[in-house]
Structure 1
Amino acid sequence: MRRRVRRDGRRREREAAADGVTGRYFEDNQEARVVRGDEDRPGGVAAHALSPESADRLWEYASAALAKGSPRP
């Protein structure tokens, strides 16, 4: 039996606000600030997580892992 999940108005607003948004990180419904790792405040997104070069390296590594089994970096 499927349970029905009632969606409140705030959830619909959040989903509508995020519609079509990609490549961004959010915390508490706000775009996350970029952190460098030497800050005392918790939260944020690391700069390397936004790097297209890092994303390409991860894609290549993951593709190789799936193709061969266990690649070495």
Structure 2
Amino acid sequence: MDMLNKFTGGSSSKPATTTTTQSGNKPDIGDKVFGGILKKTGHDSQVSESNREKITDGVRGFYEKTTGKKVNPKISN
């Protein structure tokens, strides 16, 4: 977790805030990592929340289709 916080610019001493996506679901780890990547690269304001969800869902679907394995619900819902 410290590695993820270091990558996304967070701190392990700060409590994590829980936000919801536009669809009303809590963002999963995949959404948070993708958001952190966008923020670090400066593209955070260019991608809407609904497009982020579509992209992460597409990546999850691609992974499941190519490997034949389901993604753990803790990582992606």
TM class by smaller structure: 0.3 to 0.5
The higher-RCO structure (CA 8 Å, 6+ apart) is 2
TM-score normalised per structure 2: 0.35
Q: Which has the higher strand share?
A: 1
**Larger radius of gyration between Structure 1 and Structure 2:** 1
